[in-house]
Amino acid sequence: MGDQSEALLERVRAARAERRPLCPRGTGGKFHLGRPVDGEILDTLEHSGVVHYDPSELVVTARAGTLVSELIATLAEQDQMLPFEPPLFGGDASVGGMVASGLAGPRRPWAGSVRDFVLGTRVITGEGQHLRFGGEVMKNVAGYDLSRLMAGSFGCLGLITEVSFKVLPRPRASRSLQLRLTGEQARERVLDWRRRGLPLSAACHGGGLLRIRLEGNQGSVHAAVAEIGGEPLEDNHYWDKLRDHRLPFFDGAKPLWRLSLPPAAPVLELPGTQLSDWGGAQRWLKSDADTATLRQLAASAGGSATRFGGEEAEDAPFHPLPAALLRYHQTLKARLDPERIFNPGRLYADL
């Protein structure tokens, strides 16, 4: 445990010399996402620990193998939090995997994404260099913001060894409600509440119920509860279960799809069972429908469809990129990992 960066650097340099692909892994909770990669596992869990934490500056720096649950507990001692509410699939996650996947929980549309709170990273590149990008203060620089590009890269650009985050105070008050509404009624209500600035921090519709969370100061939350009405949400762990895919909706062998759509996208007639998260911007779908059909439906609403889970592997789990954006990805991959050491093909076959 502790700083294992030199050992990791040696592993990367040896793999580069022998042109052996590497698959960085923390807890493995997101290892099923993306295309299969035939490579050597590069375990990061021993490279762990909080390097620096300054509650007064709302900044924390942790090594990639640090468990997210431990980081959350450290922040909670100072009444602070990771605002993007990262999922803990399988019970936990590592800081490196959290950033590499770029996945966020129910608070994401209102608080921001993982990328929004990354201040800096340390990364071992495919050329065997251990580089630092960004820092512990918010900076605007010309060119690539490489520290934030690591968010959602799925380990294809390099090995994340350390990350600095901006954190926020935990809300003073939190209330969760449920209202019996159709999908279209729920969509219209959430859009209206957002326009009016009500303190929403989560909104999920499924099974004829809209469940919402209100967070902020005592006065604003109390006023919003009185205005919205509805009933209290009795399950105190509902948002954690949604975040971590522990709701009954996620059970079963049917393929799980994630549709990313504009916030105002209409309710779609989709082949399967839906659960609408992020106020409608993220829609989970359990369906046996073919890939082309689902992607066409998502694209028609201005969004994309990603295969998130299922018993059988999907050859192209991520929604295809436009040609210009794919070239940008290829250029960046060639610049940081010219020998294609890190997770070659995990995102797309030619990356």
Three-state secondary structure string covering the chain? CCCCHHHHHHHHHHHHHHCCCEEEECCCCCCCCCCCCCCEEEECCCCCCEEEEEHHHCEEEEECCCEHHHHHHHHHCCCEECCCCCCCHHHCCEHHHHHHHCCCCCCHHHHCCCHHHEEEEEEECCCCCEEEEECCCCCCCCCCCHHHHCCCCCCCCCEEEEEEEECEECCCEEEEEEEECCHHHHHHHHHHHHHCCCCEEEEEEECCEEEEEEEECHHHHHHHHHHHCCEECCCCCHHHHHHCCCCHHHCCCCCEEEEECCCCCCCCCCCCEEEEEHHHCEEEEECCCCHHHHHHHHHHCCCEEEEEECCCCCCCCCCCCCHHHHHHHHHHHHHHCCCCCECCCCCCCCC
Residue where a domain stops, chosen among 151, 169, 187: 169
Q: What is the pTM of this model?
A: 0.94
Confidence (pLDDT) at 6:
97
Token pair for residue 192? 């209206």
Domain presence at residue 56: yes
Residue where a domain stops, chosen among 154, 169, 184: 169
Residue type present at position 218: Q
Alpha-carbon torsion, ordered 287, 291, 295, 296, to 10 deg: -100
Confidence (pLDDT) at 344:
94
Residues 187 and 149 in one domain: no
Residues 105 and 87 in one domain: yes
Domain presence at residue 188: yes
Domain that holds residue 126: 5-169
Domain presence at residue 268: yes
Residues 102 and 56 in one domain: yes
Residues 198 and 265 in one domain: yes
Confidence (pLDDT) at 135:
66
Token pair for residue 155? 């380990």
Q: How far is the C-alpha of 118 from the C-alpha of 333, rounded, in Å?
A: 20
Confidence (pLDDT) at 138:
40
User: Which of 120, 130, 123 is CA-nearest to residue 163?
Assistant: 120
Confidence (pLDDT) at 144:
63
Confidence (pLDDT) at 145:
77
Residues 22 and 162 in one domain: yes
Domain presence at residue 227: yes
Domain presence at residue 343: no
Low-confidence ranges of the chain (pLDDT < 70): 135-144, 313
Domain presence at residue 214: yes
Residues 59 and 97 in one domain: yes
Residue where a domain stops, chosen among 309, 327, 346: 309
Domain presence at residue 347: no
What are the φ/ψ torsions at residue 44 (nearest 5 degrees)? -110, 0
Sign of the CA dihedral 74, 114, 318, 211?
Answer: positive
The CATH code of the domain that includes 116 is 3.30.465.10
Residues 180 and 305 in one domain: yes
User: Which of 97, 102, 147, 144 is CA-nearest to residue 122?
Assistant: 147
- What SS3 string covers 3-36? CCHHHHHHHHHHHHHHCCCEEEECCCCCCCCCCC
Residues 10 and 152 in one domain: yes
Residues 116 and 233 in one domain: no
Domain presence at residue 332: no
Pairing type for strands 130-134 and 118-124 reads antiparallel
Residues 83 and 11 in one domain: yes
Residues 229 and 300 in one domain: yes
Residues 163 and 73 in one domain: yes
User: Which of 100, 84, 234 is CA-nearest to residue 158?
Assistant: 100
Q: Per the structure, how many domains does the chain have?
A: 2
Q: What is the pLDDT of residues 40-87, one digit of tens each?
A: 999 999 999 999 999 999 999 999 999 999 999 999 999 999 999 999
